[in-house]
Amino acid sequence: MTETDIHQRFREDLKQYFACRDVFLVSKGRIALYAALRASGVGPGDEVLLPGYTCVVVPAMIQRVGATPVYVDVDASTYNISLASLKERITPRSRALLVQHTYGIPCGMDSLLSFAEAHNLLCLEDCCHALGSTYQKRLCGTFGAAAFLSGQWNKPFSTGLGGMLVVNDSTLGERVESVLQNEFHQPGPGKEILLKLQQILYSTFVTPKTVMSITDLYRFASKYGLMIGSSSTGELEGRDEPGDHCTMAACQARMGVRGMKTIQSTIAHRTHIAAFYRSELNAFDQHRLPDSLVEETVYLRYPLRVRNKPALIEHAKKHRIETGTWFESPLHPLHRAWERFSYHPGMCPVGETLSAQTINLPTHPGITPAEAESIVSFIRQYAEPV
């Protein structure tokens, strides 16, 4: 596989940041998960434990390698996998445990890691929301055998779609290397141009005031093949479309290198904005995260539980206030056909309640203090606490 200087630079930057064994750059976060599962030999007959409050593309990758997703309920105060539910869902076929640091809130890694060790489970971290969060002062992404990150637009830092696999285990890195050699291709020139064009369009037009209507437009355009979407219709319906086993394009790696340069100031900004939401919106602070966890969280989005989620989202669109809807279901964004991913209604009641009630507020660098003020007054005016 040929690799440009910019890919090498981005890998080095990430390696340094995570102090990890190796880093691999691919087309999407989910594809990084796929590579990790393949490299670990997870396959038919194996079960993978994961939270029942996630993106549907995560169980889709578990199924792509032939394994079965087994959903574990989450904890209402942390939005993260619950140890009590995990103990109920483990079986002799359980092979791996996927921990997801939802919204940037770190999972309780000490108990999860000892559980994984005791049951001989491979631990993988979904860091798609968590860049810079720590647990007991140790960086999220450094606990599991590997961790994957997403470079999608609304993730910790964007590469204009893209995925990064952080590998901590010494033998896993070599196996990932050979999975990439054998099963992956590089983006062709056409795809590289399209990705670059999307980066330019995004940076020109997407602002907190336009993001909700542009996201609708983007979903529409990618449905009809006019843009490279994050998920195709077929994918969301459970049909496997393995055409995207692709490494990262150079323009994406270049954007990643730029993102790494501002990582500390971005983290400081997110922390500052989230602290503002927390102090101004304490009426909504039902999750009551212990202060010790709050201090270790770099919020990608600040979650709030409300009684009137659908109406509130409609108001937000009308008032051009940036709010997020995820997760809309235990298998975001699917509202039906969950059984295609081995989820049956009622499996994760907490995850289902949180999906029905949780909206999230942006903390990204585009949110100025004035913008945060208008978000807060919008929430105070229209949101109904649970």
Ligand X SMILES: *Cc1c(COP(=O)(O)O)cnc(C)c1O
Residues of this chain that interact with ligand X (CB under 6 A) are 28-30, 54-55, 57-58, 100, 126, 128-129, 150, 152, 155, 163, 230
Least Å from the CB of residue 51 to ligand X: 9
Kind plus residue range of the DSSP H or E element containing 212: helix 211-223
Own/partner pairs, 5-10, CB within 8 angstroms, 24+ separation: 6/250, 6/253, 6/254, 6/257, 7/248, 7/250, 7/253, 9/253, 9/257, 10/248, 10/253, 10/254, 10/256, 10/257, 10/260
Between 68 and 252, CB nearer to ligand X? 252
For 367, other C-beta atoms within 10 Å of its C-beta total 21
To ligand X, the closest distance from the beta carbon of 9 in angstroms equals: 21
- Closer CB to ligand X, 152 or 323, in the complex: 152
Shortest reach from residue 230's CB to ligand X, in Å: 5
Min CB(100)–ligand X separation in Å? 5
Task: Name which of 141 and 163 has its Cβ closer to ligand X.
Answer: 163
Give the whole-angstrom CA distance, residue 307 versus residue 309: 6
Between residues 28 and 364, which has the closer beta carbon with respect to ligand X?
Answer: 28
d(CA 196, CA 323): 26
Helix, strand, coil percentages (3-state) for the chain, rounded to 5, are 45, 15, 35
The residue (of 276 and 350) whose beta carbon lies closer to ligand X is 350
Which of 100/358 has CB closer to ligand X?
100
Shortest Å distance, C-beta 318 to ligand X: 26
Say which amino acid occupies 82: S
CA dist 327 → 51, 123, 305 (Å): 12, 23, 12
Nearer to ligand X, 29 or 351 (CB): 29
CB of 154 to ligand X, least distance (A): 8
> What residue number has its CB nearest to ligand X?
29
Nearest-angstrom CA–CA distance, 354 and 373: 25
DSSP 242: G
280: number of CA atoms within 13 Å, CB side? 19
Q: How far is the CB of 54 from ligand X (least distance, A)?
A: 5
Q: In this complex, which beta carbon is closest to ligand X, that of residue 109 or of residue 128?
A: 128
Q: How far is the CB of 56 from ligand X (least distance, A)?
A: 9
- For residue 109, give Cα distances in angstroms to 39, 125, 335, 368: 23, 10, 30, 33
From 381, 229, 214, 225, select the one nearest 312 (Cα to Cα): 381
CB of 144 to ligand X, least distance (A): 14
Say how far apart CA 119 and CA 96 lie, in whole Å.
10
Please name the amino acid found at residue 307.
R
Closest to ligand X by CB, 129 vs 287, is 129
Please say which residue, 28 or 64, places its beta carbon nearer to ligand X.
28
State the minimum distance, in angstroms, from the CB of residue 172 to ligand X. 19
Question: Dihedral angle at the C-alpha atoms of 69, 24, 82, 350, nearest 10 degrees?
Answer: -70
**Which string of DSSP letters, residue by residue, matches 157-200?**
S-SSSBEEEEE-SHHHHHHHHHHHHHH-BPPPHHHHHHHHHHHH
